[in-house]
Amino acid sequence: DAGVIQSPRHEVTEMGQEVTLRCKPISGHDYLFWYRQTMMRGLELLIYFNNNVPIDDSGMPEDRFSAKMPNASFSTLKIQPSEPRDSAVYFCASSLGFLAAYNEQFFGPGTRLTVL
Amino acid sequence: GENVEQHPSTLSVQEGDSAVIKCTYSDSASNYFPWYKQELGKGPQLIIDIRSNVGEKKDQRIAVTLNKTAKHFSLHITETQPEDSAVYFCAASAGGGADGLTFGKGTHLIIQP
């Protein structure tokens, strides 16, 4: 398997623009997580899905952020409108789920977002 | 919610020496404690984890200990090598890892030749 795939790897946009980050989890994984990493706040959970259903979105910072998982192999994180303080590295991770004996979360390479 | 504190923020050791990174957590319901290694420009990668029914786990040069009473867990790396240089994160979960992880702020480990 190719692992968790994220696109784009780098995104530079201007304040006020819409940004869409994409993630393809590892095939067969039931859980998908979105994290954000900044120097000030470290790694933070934004939202996670189980079987394509959002379970906990309490980490989503504002209504400007939204996430969807239309099927088991694709998820998006959208920021509209974007602001400079949204600049960060956004990671997607996936895991087999609670019943698995080994519940490692596998992280993608991340998308580095810069909002000017 | 859960709060994970990690120390030190930077650790420099001589090659061949041991390194110890410590974390504390606040939520007594937490039952899964993974450690991740992150290299520059890459996503975090799991190196070892421990569940709350175990006090210690070892994998070659890496070991993790857990003290549930004190809500404290530690990562031990022996015989450090240059390739161990990276940022290490501890994390905690109350859902066995099936829910989101709460991460510590990270430790930048530097192996001096």
CB A78 within 8 A of CB A90: no
Q: Which of B36, B42, B95 sits opposite A109 (nearest CB)?
A: B42
Answer yes or no: do B89 and A43 touch at CB < 8 A.
yes
Q: Do B98 and A31 touch (CB under 8 A)?
A: yes
Q: Is A107 left (phi over 0), alpha (psi -120 to 50) or beta?
A: beta
Query: Chain B within 8 Å of A95 (Cβ-Cβ)?
Result: yes
Does the distance separating the beta carbons of B43 and A110 come in below 8 Å? yes
A107 touches chain B (CB under 8 A): yes
Taking an 8 Å cut-off on Cβ atoms, the answer to whether A56 and B95 are in contact is no
Q: What are phi and psi of A3, to 5 degrees?
A: 85, -175
Within 10 A of B14 (CB to CB), how many other CB atoms are there? 10
Q: How far apart are CA A44 and CA B96, in angstroms?
A: 18
H/E element, B33: strand B32-38
pLDDT band for position A115 (50/70/90)?
very high
Cis peptide bond N-terminal to B44, omega within 30? no
Q: Which residue of A has its CA nearest to B100?
A: A45
Query: Three-state DSSP class for B84?
Result: helix
Asked if B82 contacts B99 with a C-beta cutoff of 8 angstroms, the reply is no
pLDDT at A98: 63
Tokens matching residue A49: 């899905």
Nearest partner of A92 among A23, A43, A40, A31, judged by Cα: A23
CB of A25 within 8 Å of a chain B CB? The answer is no
Residue B23, both tokens: 């974390």
| pLDDT tens readout for residues A72-109 | 999 999 999 999 999 999 999 999 876 655 578 999 99
pLDDT in tens, A19-43: 999 999 999 999 999 999 999 999 9
Half-sphere exposure of B90 (CA within 13 A, CB side): 31
State the pLDDT at residue A102: 54
Contacting residues of A for B99, CB less than 8 Å apart: 48, 55-56
Block means of pLDDT (10 residues each) for chain B, 113 residues, are 95 98 96 95 95 90 96 97 98 85 97 94
- pLDDT on residue B61: 97
Residue B76 tokens, joined: 């031990």
